[in-house]
Amino acid sequence: MWDTIDNLKKQLDNFQPQTVADVEALRVGILGKKGSLTRLFEAFKDVDPAEKKELGKQLNLLKNKVQETVDRHRERLAATAAQNISGDDLTKPAGLIHTGSRHPIAIVQREILDIFRKMGFSVEEGPEIEDDWHVFSALNFAPDHPARDMQDTFFINTDSDNPVLLRTHTSSVQVRTMEKQKPPIRVVCPGRVFRNEAISARAHCIFHQVEGLYIDEKVSFADLKQSILLFVREMFGASAKIRLRPSYFPFTEPSAEVDVNCNICGGAGCNICKNTGWLEIMGAGMVDPNVLKASGIDPEKFSGFAFGMGVERIAMLKWQVRDLRLYFENDVRFLEQFQGGLL
């Protein structure tokens, strides 16, 4: 019996439970119905009366020791479990949560759309995979226009006389809008466009445009100029100036290219504005009567203006980013610098 008592003491001293279940197993093994100490107590009644006093004392001491060991380990394990749930230091300030931010192109696109929304334009979208009619023919492109060449446009299917292709500009959404809406029409059309171009700091085969279209009775070139001036002042600041240069697009007559004064050098001349003090930001013009006719709008009654701008171009000017490719690489070190609102 004395040996069993000694062994139990040793077992208690060396006990290193990992879980509460280990502690419970020990308790049952010693104090349970068939536990080793319970059995010693049962055997106690048959012990020699001379030994009883000392043995009884030892058994009681041992019982207390078991209880104390069990309690101590239970408490310790409960405390570590609580700590694991709540973290090491409950007073530590919370770390920054990275929620991500909008892509710079999305930020600028939103800004452009918001400005035109304030002027009463609504937003229209169209498909990226288009047909020749909406991208070229309805927009008065001649059958032999170079944009219809494989070198400029990604064709998907050229089997029919209305080939399927990736749209090269969002002007196609003008056509879709005119086909389904009656004037007055006032829309801005954002979206991705695709061109078969070599990728460089200034050009990419995928980019974004915002197209604008305003059709009503008696819309004039003065309306076009004033709308663009308002847009530019909202986008680049109240002191921004614009300059219109005569140009050519098949779908507008007259056509113009719109320049804004260079905010990088302030007009003194730099490599971005090629020392002219001006930067081209969009094409624009009065919608050609042929385009109105092609979409079922009477050019005798209605007139309109249209414009189209590259979102990357506007973003480059806004943030003075000199390489367009940065917008497509999605390097978070670049993207994190544009805090234009959370997702």
Interface with ligand DAH (CB under 6 A): 169, 171, 211, 249, 252, 283-285, 306-308
Distance CA 325, CA 14 (A): 67
Compare residues 30 and 185 and give the one whose CB is closer to ligand DAH: 185
Compare residues 136 and 236 and give the one whose CB is closer to ligand DAH: 136
* DSSP assignment letter at 217: T
Give the nearest distance from C-beta 168 to ligand DAH in angstroms. Answer: 7
Compare residues 121 and 307 and give the one whose CB is closer to ligand DAH: 307
Give the nearest distance from C-beta 310 to ligand DAH in angstroms. Answer: 8
Give the nearest distance from C-beta 217 to ligand DAH in angstroms. Answer: 19
Compare residues 215 and 273 and give the one whose CB is closer to ligand DAH: 215
Helix (H, G, I), strand (E, B) or coil at 76: helix
* DSSP assignment letter at 15: -
Give the nearest distance from C-beta 338 to ligand DAH in angstroms. Answer: 25
Give the nearest distance from C-beta 283 to ligand DAH in angstroms. Answer: 3
**Amino acid at residue number 223:** D
Distance CA 331, CA 323 (A): 13
CB atoms within 10 A of CB 66: 23
Give me the sheet containing 129-131, strands edge to edge: 129-131, 164-166, 155-157
Give the nearest distance from C-beta 181 to ligand DAH in angstroms. Answer: 16
Give the nearest distance from C-beta 227 to ligand DAH in angstroms. Answer: 12
Give the nearest distance from C-beta 256 to ligand DAH in angstroms. Answer: 8
Helix (H, G, I), strand (E, B) or coil at 210: strand
**Amino acid at residue number 52:** K
List all residues 6 or more positions away from 304 whose beta carbon is below 8 Å from its beta carbon. 183, 185, 213, 214, 215, 216, 219, 286, 287, 292
Q: Is the dihedral of CA 330, 332, 335, 341 positive or negative?
A: positive
* DSSP assignment letter at 119: T
Compare residues 171 and 295 and give the one whose CB is closer to ligand DAH: 171
**At residue 43, what are phi and psi to the nearest 5 degrees?**
-75, -15
Compare residues 258 and 321 and give the one whose CB is closer to ligand DAH: 258
Compare residues 30 and 291 and give the one whose CB is closer to ligand DAH: 291
Distance CA 160, CA 277 (A): 47
Strand partners, 186: 214
Compare residues 191 and 283 and give the one whose CB is closer to ligand DAH: 283
Give how far the C-alpha of residue 102 lies from the chain's centroid of Cα atoms, to the nearest Å: 5
Q: Rounded to whole angstroms, what are the CA distances from 168 to 192, 214, 291? A: 9, 21, 17
Give the nearest distance from C-beta 183 to ligand DAH in angstroms. Answer: 16
Distance CA 126, CA 192 (A): 10
Compare residues 73 and 208 and give the one whose CB is closer to ligand DAH: 208
DSSP string, 139-158: GT--TT-GGGSTTTS-EEE-
